[in-house]
Structure 1
Amino acid sequence: MTDPLPMPLDVRLMNLTTALLATGLVLACVAAALWWVLRNPAFAIRQIVVTGDTAHHSAASLRATVMPRLAGNFFTLDLAATQAAFQSVPWVRKAVVQREFPGRLNVTLEEHVAVGHWGEEGDHLVNRYGEVFEATADEPGERELPALRGPEGQAGTVLEMYRLLNPLLEPLGAEIAELTLQGRGNWRAELDGGAVIELGHGAPAELAARLRQFAGTVKEVAARHQRPVAAVEAADLRHVGGYALRLRGVGTVRPDAQPTAPRR
């Protein structure tokens, strides 16, 4: 049996050229189709549906704010950038963005829930997770939130202490209007009636015990001096077994109170 003759070189070159041309033609068609899809106005983002928390923004105002910042169509839109655009809007904590063919975006929002003002100037807010954010407190209830102050990065710690201490004042019908974490870990509270309470420093359980004792006995102490509890101007709870109290027009220290040794 004879071996087949080898294909002439010119034939092989012709076949290779034909294959390359065919491949190039297919790729060109694919590229043209992609270009058509990417540029076709039929796939432009025509609708943005906003659901979830919209207490501080209407869906229409959100669309008007974010739409000019979006680039691309249904296929080319950067979802991460779109999410960031929504999350840059004041009061928006989290946004989930999803495409829906052919030209719709579904956006689900979670807003910050403010529980206090933050900072020396009170120009920031802190949410229920202890996260600081910048927004304007427009509603009356938001303007009356407690002021929380402390070193940068300690908003969560101050919020947790507020949540621990504020309910302990219920017997007095009072609330903490301002809570400050000072240098060296000292805590100070100002009540809604204006009284300033020096809590000192220590573990949360220690501070709670001091405030609980104060709230349970201060009415009696004030009554001994013919004063209502509203007459309390200041109290220093940094004493073993008691506290120092300043009433309007009266100065007193509980007899069983002993100053604590200075701590370093």
Structure 2
Amino acid sequence: MRVTRRPTPTAAAALPLPLDVRLMNGVAAGVFVIAALTLLAAGVLWLTRAPFFAIRAVQIDGDLARNSVPTIRANAMPKLRGQFFSLDLARTRAAFESVPWVRRAVVRRVWPDRLAVQLEEHRPVALWQPEDERNPLLVNSFGEIFEANVGDVEDDRLPVLAGPSDKARENAAAMWSLLRRLQPLLAAQDLQLRRLSLSARGSWRGETEEGQVIEFGRGSEDEVVARSEQFVRTLSQVTGRYRRPLLSADLRHTDGYALRLDGVATVTPATTEAR
């Protein structure tokens, strides 16, 4: 007996679908994926703004001499926006650095609801006197000019730096660097450098606690220091010879320097050209 095999329903279903049906299925799948991603993004956004992720504690550390923790909180906290996930760390850092006397702030998140803030304060080492004779600003140990209440500084004998206002921040760093090298040199001759000025033409000038004026001349930091070292090495020989106190010194000469002593004017050694 002969048996005839007929096509099964599965074989018939394997035939390709019409193009319009496949296109409709693809569109439906795409819409589903977009909807799922939209829901996921909305869920993440809601999660990041949920109140149970609010910042509940701010830990402030650092060597604080000019500020107290309550003062810093009162100044910076009202400027913070967002919670643990949405908080902008750059803006948060700027909020803490806007507090008077704060030079630098490092901010990081601490799971699940805290901020850790490490602060560095300015350490005043000099005053910056603007050309227009406005109230002086302060210079920190990095040679940076910053604004704070000068009256809060206990040391009323800070040295003064003065130079062209259009390059104040650039000049302050260079002047503080030179001052640190000149002070110990001159102190060896009992000359306490009180003021260091830079003219618009780039010439350096110093004034001591006793009012003596020293014209250092133009040049790089190393050139000015080299002339000052020569001056310091021989100054006591000249003042000892004449036994007169120093009034001023001019180091702008190629082969030596000129001195003005009380009642005496001298040049040592012979000079040929002024800087």
The alignment's TM-score, normalised by the length of structure 2, stands at 0.78
Question: Which residue in the other structure is 1:93 paired with?
Answer: 103
- Deviation of 1:36 after TM superposition, in Å, equals 4.2
Alignment of 1:111 onto 2:112: no
1: CA distance, partners of 2:62 / 2:112? 23
Q: In the alignment, residue 249 of structure 2 is paired with which amino acid?
A: A
Residue number in structure 1 paired with 2:52: 42
Greater gyration radius: 2
**Residue aligned with 1:261, SS:** coil
Counterpart residue number, 1:140: 154
Aligned counterparts, 1:73-222, within 5 A: 73-120=83-130, 121=133, 123-137=136-150, 138-141=152-155, 143-151=156-164, 152=167, 153-222=170-239
Percent identity reads: 44
Q: After the TM superposition, which of the residue ranges 109-118 and 121-130 deviates more from structure 2?
A: 121-130
Partner of 1:63: 73
Deviation at 1:196, TM superposition (A): 0.9
User: Distance between the aligned counterparts of 2:35 and 2:216, measured in 1?
Assistant: 80
How far apart are 1:39 and its partner, in Å? 3.9
Aligned twin of 1:246: 261
Change (3 A) 1:225 1:67: same
Q: Which amino acid aligns with 1:185?
A: G
Contact 2:246 2:259 in 1 (8 A): no
Asked if structure 1 preserves the Cα contact closer than 8 Å seen for 2:249 and 2:257, the reply is no
Classify 1:184/1:18 alpha carbon distance in 2 versus 1 (closer, same or farther; 3 Å): closer
Give the aligned residue type for 2:147: E
Pairing 1:261–2:270 present: no
Aligned partner letter, 2:106:
V
Identify the residue that residue 236 of structure 1 maps to in structure 2: 250
SS of the residue 1:34 aligns to: helix
Task: Give secondary structure in 1 for the equivalent of 2:250.
Answer: strand
CA distance, structure 1, for counterparts of residue 186 and residue 246 of structure 2: 14
User: Unaligned 5+ residue runs, structure 2?
Assistant: 1-6
Moved more, 68-77 or 24-33: 24-33
Aligned-pair RMSD on alpha carbons? Answer: 3.1
The 1:258/1:184 distance shift into structure 2, 3 A limit, reads farther
Distance apart, 1:33 and its partner CA: 3.6
| Structure 1 CA distance for aligned equivalents of residues 114 and 210 of structure 2 | 53
Aligned residues of 1:238 and 1:260 also touching (Cα < 8 A)? no
| One-letter amino acid matched to 1:258 | A
Q: Cα deviation per residue 1:177-207 (whole Å; 9 max; x = unaligned)?
A: 1111213221110112221111122343443
Q: Measure how far apart 1:107 and its partner are.
A: 0.7
Amino acid at match of 1:40: A
Deviations 1:62-111 (A, max 9, x none): 11111111111111111111111112223222211111122211011122
Provide the rounded CA distance (Å) in 2 between the counterparts of 1:34 and 1:24: 15
Amino acid at match of 2:208: L
**Structure 1 pair 16/191, CA: closer, same or farther in 2 (3 Å)?**
same
Question: Do the aligned residues in 2 keep the contact of 1:171 with 1:216 (CA within 8 Å)?
Answer: no
| Cross-structure match for 1:3 | 12
Q: Is the alpha carbon distance of 1:20 and 1:193 closer, same or farther for their aligned partners in structure 2, counting shifts above 3 Å?
A: same
Q: How many residues end up aligned between the 2 structures?
A: 256
The letter of the residue matching 1:261 is E
Does 2:53 align with 1:53? Answer: no
